[in-house]
Structure 1
Amino acid sequence: MYRRILLPIDLGHVASNDKVISIAVEMARHWQGEIHAVTVVPPISSMVAPYLPQSVEMDTVHDVEARLTDLLKASIPDDIKVSLRVVEGAVYHEILHEAKKWQADVIVIASHKPELGDYLLGSNAAKVVRHAPMSVFVVRL
């Protein structure tokens, strides 16, 4: 049923990753599926970019990709097929774009307990749930 599992990972919230990864692994095992992990890097502000070396953006993506690779190697057993991608942009938009592009059956996403700002602006997980054309499994932390 859920053979293509998109797993958005926020490397800034290390504590949440173990729980959401373990659930994605169990889903992949249950349905003989595969996991596609994605991390979104915010774009560098156009106000700051002229003052930074041109390689900063590429170096950042490579660093994030290495951190994501290490996390997945440590957290996902070898019997589960896994791929990864680091993209740049707005978090919820890029998650939805990657899910459609990869033709995911389900998105497994972590979500913290709502705070005041989330009620006013909405969390990334809430936006993904609201706009995703496929099932979304929200892991409450």
Structure 2
Amino acid sequence: MSLKHILMPVDLAFNELVEREVSMALKLLDDDGVIDILFVDDTASHRRMAITAVSDRLTEKHSATELAVQAMFDAIIPKWNRGRCIIRHGAVSDEVVAQAKKSNADAIVMASAKPKFRSYLLGSNAAKIVRHAHCSVFVVR
């Protein structure tokens, strides 16, 4: 299978998983294909409850997150395979599915940690994305 456009959701807290995602994505990608990375800031859904004094901290956090995601993108994606670095706000699974559709991705390559007991009851982001994405989803353990 050879793909032209892969969307790769990332979590800044798990660099080792991101490296495995990249490895898998590069195996699936055409030589001239591109990888977009997507970071979903799920704290945005909690901003409505934040007071104004906390709002400034959230703005600072957002700026720091943008820099960190861009630095990760530049460090891990080969220059000739770089698509876009995207940050969205909201529920992770919803935003990944929406971005994949918006960018017309051929596939999503994402990591998933070993499930904990609660994920069997609530469902994981990976499971929701697999069920709702318009394209193929590759889950890297």
**Fold-level similarity (TM above 0.5):** yes
Q: What is the TM-score normalised by the length of structure 2?
A: 0.88
* Residue aligning to 2:37: 37
| Amino acid of the structure 1 residue aligned with 2:62 | V
Q: Count how many residue pairs are aligned between Structure 1 and Structure 2.
A: 138
| Amino acid of the structure 1 residue aligned with 2:115 | P
| Amino acid of the structure 2 residue aligned with 1:127 | K
* Residue aligning to 1:137: 138
Q: Against the structure 1 CA distance between its residues 130 and 31, is the aligned structure 2 distance closer, same or farther, given a 3 Å change threshold?
A: farther
- Three-state SS of the structure 1 residue aligned to 2:3 is coil
Q: What is the TM-score normalised by the length of structure 1?
A: 0.88
User: Which runs of no fewer than 5 residues in structure 1 stay unpaired?
Assistant: none
* Residue aligning to 2:99: 98
Q: Which has the higher helix share?
A: 2
Deviation at 1:53, TM superposition (A): 4.4
* Residue aligning to 1:72: 73
Q: Deviations over 1:65-107 (max 9, x none)?
A: 1111111211122221321111110000000111111111100
1:35/1:83 contact within 8 Å kept: yes
What CA distance in whole angstroms lies between the structure 2 residues aligned with 1:122 and 1:130? 11
1:2/1:31 contact within 8 Å kept: no
2:32/2:80 contact within 8 Å kept: no
67-76 or 99-108: bigger deviation: 67-76
| Amino acid of the structure 2 residue aligned with 1:85 | I
Deviation at 1:38, TM superposition (A): 0.4
| Amino acid of the structure 2 residue aligned with 1:56 | R
Superposition map of 1:1-141 within 5 A: 1-28=2-29, 30=30, 32-42=32-42, 43=44, 44-47=46-49, 49-140=50-141
